[in-house]
Amino acid sequence: MISPSLLFLLLFLTPLEGGSHPAEDDNLLVFTVATKETEGFKRFRSSAQVFNYNLKVLGLGEEWPEREDQRTAGGQKVRLLKSALEAYADKEDLVILFTESYDVIFASGPAEVLKKFKQAKSKVVFSSETLIYPDRRLEAKYPVVQEGKRFLGSGGFIGYAPYLNQLVADWQGLDSESDQMFYTKAFLDPEKRKTLNITLDHRCRIFQNLNGALDEVALKFENGQVRVRNLAFDTLPVVIHGNGPTKLQLNYLGNYIPQSWTFEMGCTVCKEGMKNLSGLKEDSLPLTVVGVFIEQPTPFLDQFFRRLQLLRYPKKKIHLFIHNHEEHHLSQVSSFVEQHGQEYRSLKVMGPEDNLENAGARNFSMNLCKQNPACEYYFSLDAEVVLTNPDTMQILMEQNKFVIAPLVSRIGKLWSNFWGALSPEGYYARSEDYREIVQRRRIGLWNVPYISSVYLIKGSVLRSQLAQLDLFRSGRQDADMALCHNIHEQGVFMFLTNQQLFGHILSLENYQTSHLHNDLWQIFSNPEDWKEKYIHPNYTDALKGKLVETPCPDVYWFPLFTDTACDELVEEMEHFGQWSRGDNKDQRILGGYENVPTIDIHMNQINFEREWYRFLLDYIAPITEKLYPGYYTQTQFELAFVVRYKPDEQPSLMPHHDASTFTINIALNRVGIDYEGGGCRFIRYNCSIQAPRKGWTLLHPGRLTHYHEGLPTTKGTRYIAVSFLDP
């Protein structure tokens, strides 16, 4: 399949053949019809300007005729061309090129077009198609060809002015009638075909219609230049037409064609139309509605709200809307609203009690901007998006597009918030360069067929082209697909930028809500987010040998857990509540052995054994091998548990050896605040650690050398997490 997102490069790089010579260009005039200046038309006009075509636009401001049978109307185009050609009827040396505009781009300049037209040795040349349209019954009347495409396409043709004038002189039809049928009948009339010397561009030397031909089209890169190549005929067409269902392929191909582009090392950046907001005062920044959507159970929601709060955009310029579909998240939403709701210009929250489904919630949110003339932007943000770039909103605004999304993808995966192409049925299809875009090996601004999860839309387009639409509903499509479909139908482009790093998307598939603190179980599905929430920010320095203390011989002390990790692990254990002394019966159940029983809960009792092992492998094994050179471990363990010490329960632990090669002991709360006393004494060295720091771990040998005892807890409750580890 053609790679649409790569194809757009042809629009601003030097063509491989046929330069542009002003003297010859005077002999070529381009006509097109456009009733509205859509984004597709602006793209077409920009590509014409890049290659210095003499372009005349017909029909701007006219109404486009509608047909009851919903089939393509085109008679208006013939009428307008007929009227325009009358002024050129006697200009025998003038060549006229007619082409569609909304779904067409130029790939090279006038000199190449003239050269190829003259080589055709015909007075009129039409584009060719693989598929016959609009009446298959006419197939038998078409001349048989030895090579190339057999059927006429009316979206592009070229000829000498007097001959084209004669071709359209007989037009007497209505604006709503078919131009394709009119030109087809003219071509199939043997006498007229001979008189006007009409042929088809069978081998796509000038015109490339994409409908039915995606598999035969590829890109040709050579010496820093790029062109569309027709592989079937080994030709380099000049006029690329995304006709029929291939319009979206051309959208990705097209992108905007600005006055200036840069192309360096695969990095493509549009310089035109950008606006700089950085110098504006806060009260001058655009008023924006921000819609937040929690549509399913989502991990790390507290972190999501923290990042929302940290977006570098004035809160008094934001109307905030939150739709929470999940009762599971009511407390988190309520906490955010209570702490920060008053900071925003306005805040509206809708919860599960409102019984508002996804599409309805998104329409409601978007209408807050659509119905407010002062709203300049609508920013939609799903809760599974981890937006790490606090300047995202302003960066997107500065791109000055109607609809634009920042690239976010799952870490280490190709799953992202955009599609590179669509299948004929309108569903996902991967473009050739999808991987390069997701992995940012090709960087730029991309016109894409589908976006989701996070995007920015201009209020002006919501109140114009998209004003009357129920944007998030279309047949049986889900809300995101319906939005993209409806935007496409109105001729509005959607863009994606990967010019900067913006963040990533969480994996939600394995998120369960059966625990008190469910994020603890996300170390497999979302390891980077788990690390950010639960691993001490200074752990990386410890892994490099910094911030590691040696309070006793061969005993290492370093930061490991965040306060949140400590608090949630303690709360999870207390929520489970089944504290035991580790007697023989318990040991048989737990499959391990403790020399000295403690009041504890083991990780496998709360179904946290797999996650704990992953934590040990990812964070304990590397630092163990760093601190004990030459020792390698897979952090195998039989015992991993949280111990509770209380003066009236079990205040201390008698001297003992651990049943391990080495042990980790993580302090889970704060001495002097949560409890008094406690600590650990290594008897052989007469060395004590009496003020363990919350979130820091002691790493020490187990058997033989490090005989130790737990010092008495004299007040409050002390918690530690312990693992006995073997190779």
The catalytic residues are 718
Question: Residue 596: how many CA atoms within 13 Å on its side-chain side?
Answer: 13
Contact in structure between 689 and 557 (CB atoms under 8 Å): yes
Check if the beta carbon of residue 322 is closer than 8 Å to that of residue 294: yes
ω into 110 cis (within 30 of 0):
no
- C-alpha dihedral (330, 334, 340, 342), degrees to nearest 10: 120
Contacts of 633 (CB under 8 A, 6+ apart): 621, 624, 625, 661, 662, 725, 726, 727
In 3-state terms, the chain is what percent helix, strand and coil (to 5)?
A: 30, 25, 40
Amino acid identity, position 458: K
Neighbours of 90 (CB within 10 A): 9
For the beta carbon of residue 374, count every other beta carbon within 10 angstroms.
9
Q: For residue 383, what are its two tokens?
A: 């809760």
- The Cα–Cα gap between 225 and 443 comes to 17
Residues in contact with 434: Cβ distance below 8 Å, sequence separation at least 6, in sequence order: 5, 414, 419, 420, 421
**Residues 299, 522: contact at Cβ < 8 Å?**
yes
Taking the CA of residue 538 as centre, how many other CA atoms within 13 Å lie in the half-sphere pointing to its CB? 12
Give long-range contacts, CB 8 A cutoff, 24+ apart: 427-435. Answer: 429/1, 431/1, 431/3, 431/4, 431/5, 431/6, 431/252, 432/1, 432/3, 432/5, 432/6, 433/3, 433/5, 433/6, 434/5
CA–CA separation, 628 and 17 (whole Å): 66
Distance CA 87, CA 280 (A): 51
Question: For residues 357 and 296, is the Cβ–Cβ distance under 8 A?
Answer: no
- Burial environment of residue 56 by CB neighbours within 10 A (0 to 12, 13 to 18, 19 or more): exposed
Q: Distances in Å between the alpha carbon of 380 and those of 212, 282, 446, 683?
A: 36, 21, 19, 61
The residue among 203, 208, 209 whose CA lies nearest residue 244 is 209
Nearest to 229 by CA among 458, 357, 221: 221
Stated as kind and residue range, the H or E segment containing 448 is none
Q: How far is CA 462 from the centre of its chain?
A: 21
Taking the C-alpha atoms of residue 311 and residue 679, their distance in angstroms, rounded to an integer, is 42
Judge contact between 638 and 591, C-beta under 8 A.
yes
- Phi and psi of 428, rounded to 5°? -60, 135
